[in-house]
Structures are given as C-alpha cells and as structure tokens.
C-alpha cells in the first residue's frame, strides 16, 4: 500500500482505539447524556460519525469505480486540492472552528453504546476497504461533491484524509463531553 494511504489507515485505526477506550471507560447509561443543552452527547457524536460514513458511501464508491474505469498511473505523491486541504485543516481536533452540520447528519441517537460502536466499527471497516481500493488510482483527478454542502468539491484523496480526521474531531468532542459529565457528577 502507498505510504500516504497507509497513514490514512493508521489514522482510522487510532480512532478505533479511541472509541473503544470510551466504550470501556464511560458507563453505557451515560452515553446519551448531554453535558449541556447545546452540546452533543457521546452517543450523538458517534451517531454523527456513522451518518457521515453512510452519506459519503455512494460518493466514494462512485469515485472509486470511476478511477478503476479510467485507469492510468497513480502519482508518486498524492495531493489534496485547495478546498480539500482547507476542509482537512478545519476537520481535526481540537475544534477551533465550529460548523453547524446539516440536519441530515445530526444524530438523534439514543441507541445503546455497544450498538453504536458496533455500527461504527462496521462502517470503519468499509472505509478501510475504500482506502485499500484507492491504492494505485489517480485520486487527485477524482472529484467528490460534499453531501454537507453541494458547493464544496474536492478530490478523493482529500476526502480520504478528511474522514479519519473528522472522526478524531468528534471523538475528541465525545471525550470532552465525558470530562464535563464527570465534573458535573
């Protein structure tokens, strides 16, 4: 696997470790508890990540199919385009820029913690398959239109770097929620 794609895989794996740590640390009955009325619960953070993966699925799969159809040499070095770099930059923790998400991606989840994590792991395995399938494709020339905002377009490599960073952002948010809940107790 290309080293840049392996780095993306490593980011996904570290996000999974983070989530499992939350599952082991936070009592299941506290996952749906909000630390403040305007802040998301741990369950809402994880539910949002699951909804995000579901929203990107058809776009990524179509881009990968297009890449296989086109063929061509893979670059020695993958590059984010400007919009993708900007999205990547703002997607990570700590959240310096707050962006209100669209209603479609706001989780109302009160599902049990174990169920949310199982779904996250299933979807993350799918994302890891996307990264593996991307190896050798001309990712810089494959465009994605964001399901969050149709005016935002970026290349597939950008998206593949944004998604695990977005996971870390919301897992950081979930960790912050747990810290706030502990201080309240």
Give the model's pLDDT for residue 102: 66
Place of tokens 């913690």: 113
Summarised one tens digit per residue, pLDDT across range 32-76 is 999 999 999 999 999 999 999 999 999 999 999 999 998 877 889
At the fourth CATH level, the homologous superfamily of domain 3-184 is dinb family like domain (1.20.120.450)
User: 25-55: string of b/e by CB count within 10 Å (b at 16+)?
Assistant: ebeeebbbbebeeeebbbbbbbbbbbbbbee
Give the model's pLDDT for residue 111: 79
Give the model's pLDDT for residue 57: 97
How far apart are alpha carbons 142 and 51 in whole angstroms?
A: 23
Domain ranges of the chain: 3-184
How far apart are alpha carbons 42 and 50 in whole angstroms?
A: 13
Helix (H, G, I), strand (E, B) or coil at 144: strand
For range 109-113, the mean pLDDT: 79
Single pTM value for the model: 0.92
Give the model's pLDDT for residue 97: 65
Give the model's pLDDT for residue 93: 85
Mean pLDDT (the chain, rounded): 92
Summarised one tens digit per residue, pLDDT across range 153-174 is 999 999 999 999 999 999 999 9
Confidence of residue 101 (pLDDT cuts 50, 70, 90): confident
Residues in the chain: 185
Place of tokens 């983070």: 18
């Amino acid at each position: 696997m290309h080293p840049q794609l392996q780095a993306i895989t490593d980011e996904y794996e570290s996000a999974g470790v983070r989530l499992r740590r939350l599952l082991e640390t936070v009592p299941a009955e506290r996952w749906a508890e909000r630390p403040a009325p305007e802040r998301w619960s741990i369950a809402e953070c994880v539910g949002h990540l699951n909804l995000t993966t579901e929203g990107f699925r058809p776009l990524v799969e179509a881009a990968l199919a297009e890449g296989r159809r086109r063929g061509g040499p893979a670059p020695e070095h993958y590059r984010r385009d400007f919009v993708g770099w900007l999205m990547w930059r703002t997607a990570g923790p700590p959240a310096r820029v707050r962006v209100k998400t669209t209603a479609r991606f706001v989780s109302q989840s009160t599902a049990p913690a174990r169920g949310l994590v199982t779904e996250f792991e299933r979807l993350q395995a799918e994302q890891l398959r996307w990264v593996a399938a991307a190896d050798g494709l001309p990712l810089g020339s494959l465009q994605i239109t964001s399901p969050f905002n149709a005016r935002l377009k970026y290349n597939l490599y950008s998206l593949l770097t944004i998604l695990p960073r977005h996971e870390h952002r919301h897992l950081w948010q979930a960790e912050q929620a747990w810290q706030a809940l502990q201080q309240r107790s």
